[in-house]
Amino acid sequence: MELQQNHFEIFGLPVSYEVDRQALAARYRELQQEFHPDRFAAKSDREQRLSMQYAAQINEANNTLKDPVARAAYLLQLAGVEISPEQTTADGEFLMQQMILRERLEEVRDAADPEAELGELGDETSALFREQQRVFADALTANALDEAKSALLKLQFLGKLQRQIETLEEDLLD
């Protein structure tokens, strides 16, 4: 048999966008206590190999549920909606807003106080991210899958922007 439960079932969590992070972390540790290859180091080769597969799957499930964008994509996948990597949002207003944010990011280095400007940009991006998370959660609950998909595409955009902000922050620190 395979670990055929979906990621939420593995951790005994309800299938929902809201995830109890503490319950997830605790259950994750419990499962790894049981299945991690370290528990099988003195067992047969076959059991060692199986345990590695299970541990990898538990890790994969944990990573997906921990990450707000990956979790959203996974929930849509469970609902039968696949997102290809090339797909992008068609919301013109949103794209315009993104362009402005990106331009500001590019100009951060020339700002009078780059760190403060970057901090502000980070806060704004986080607020937009949280807003789309709410849109996604509501749409999913209402089974409005198109709307949820549109929110996910925006989350992907914003998540990428957040990472770029972090990278620049790191460069500025050095």
Partner 1 sequence: MALLQISEPGQTPEPHQRKRAVGIDLGTTNSLVATVRSGSAEALAAEDGSVILPSAVRYSGAGVEVGLAARAAAGDDPYNTLISIKRLMGRGLADIKSFGEQLPYRFAEDRGGMPSIETAAGAVNPVQVSAEILRVLAKRGADSLGGALDGAVITVPAYFDEAQRQATKDAAQLAGLKVLRLLNEPTAAAVAYGLDKSEGGGDVADKTVAVYDLGGGTFDISILSLSRGVFEVLSTGGDSALGGDDFDRVIGEWMAAEAGLGNDLDAATQRKLLNAACAAKEALAQETVVPVAYGNWAGELSREKLAELLDPLISKTLRACKRALRDADLSAEDIAEVVLVGGSTRTLRVRERVEEFFAREPHADIDPDQVVAIGAALQADVLVGNKSREDLLLLDVIPLSLGIETMGGLTEKLIHRNTTIPVAKAQEFTTFKDGQTAMAIHVVQGERELVSDCRSLARFELRGIPPMVAGAAHIRVTFQVDADGLLSVTAMEKSSGVAAEITVKPSYGLEDSDITRMLQESYTHAEEDIAARALREAQVEAERTLEAMLVALTEDGAELLSEEELGALERAMEALRLAHNGGTAEEIHKRIESLNELSEPYAARRMDKSIKRAMQGHSLDEFDKP
Region label for 77, one of left (φ > 0), alpha (ψ between -120 and 50) or beta (otherwise): alpha
Q: Give yes or no for residue 78 binding partner 1 (CB under 8 A).
A: no
Q: Between residues 5 and 100, which has the closer beta carbon with respect to partner 1?
A: 5
Q: Could you give the 3-state DSSP secondary structure of residue 4?
A: coil
Phi and psi at 106, nearest 5°, equal -65, -30
Q: Give yes or no for residue 77 binding partner 1 (CB under 8 A).
A: no
Region label for 13, one of left (φ > 0), alpha (ψ between -120 and 50) or beta (otherwise): beta
Residues numbered 36-65 forming contacts with partner 1, rule: CB under 8 A: 36-39, 41-47, 50-57, 59-60, 62-63
Q: Minimum distance from CB of 149 to partner 1 (Å)? A: 19
Q: What is the largest CA-CA distance in the chain?
A: 63
Q: Which residues bind partner 1 (CB under 8 A)?
A: 1, 3, 5, 8-9, 12-16, 25, 29-39, 41-47, 50-57, 59-60, 62-63, 166, 169-170, 173-174
